[in-house]
Amino acid sequence: MVVYKIGILTLDGFPLMSYASVVEPLRAANLLSQKTLYEVVDITPTKDGVRSSSGVLIYGKSTLAENIKFDILFLIAGGDPFLIDNKKLFSWLNRLTKFGTIIGGISGGPVILTKAGIMGDRRMTVHWEHAEGLLELDHKVILERSLYVFDRDRMTCAGGTAPLDMILALISSHQGAVFAQFVSDWFVHAEIRPSGGAQRGGLANRIGTNNKLVLSAVELMENHIADPLTLLHLARLVGISERQLNRIFKKNLGRSTMAYYRSIRLEKAKNLLRNSHLKISEIAEATGFSNQSHLTGLFSEFYGCVPSNFRLKRF
pLDDT of residue 199: 41
Q: Look at residues 189, 190, 210, 116 and name the one whose alpha carbon lies nearest to residue 154.
A: 116
pTM of this structure: 0.75
User: DSSP secondary-structure letter at 52?
Assistant: B
Q: CB of 49 within 8 A of CB of 61?
A: no
Taking 90 as the threshold, does the pLDDT of residue 15 lie above it? yes
- pLDDT above 90 covers a percentage of the chain that reads 57
Q: Of 7-11, 30-34, 88-92, 272-276, which gets the smallest average pLDDT?
A: 272-276
Q: Within its chain, how far is the Cα of 130 from the centroid?
A: 18
Q: Kindly give the pairing relationship between strand 154-157 and strand 142-143.
A: unpaired
Strands (DSSP E) found in the chain: 4-10, 38-44, 50-51, 57-58, 62-63, 72-77, 102-107, 123-124, 142-143, 148-151, 154-157
68 three-class SS: coil
Q: For the chain, which domains are there?
A: 4-165 (3.40.50.880), 201-315 (1.10.10.60)
DSSP state of 128: G
- The strand pairing partners of 62, in sequence order, are 43
Mind listing the pLDDT tens digit for each residue in 108-134?
999 999 999 999 888 899 988 888 888
171-201 residue pLDDT tens: 999 999 889 989 999 887 767 776 665 444 5
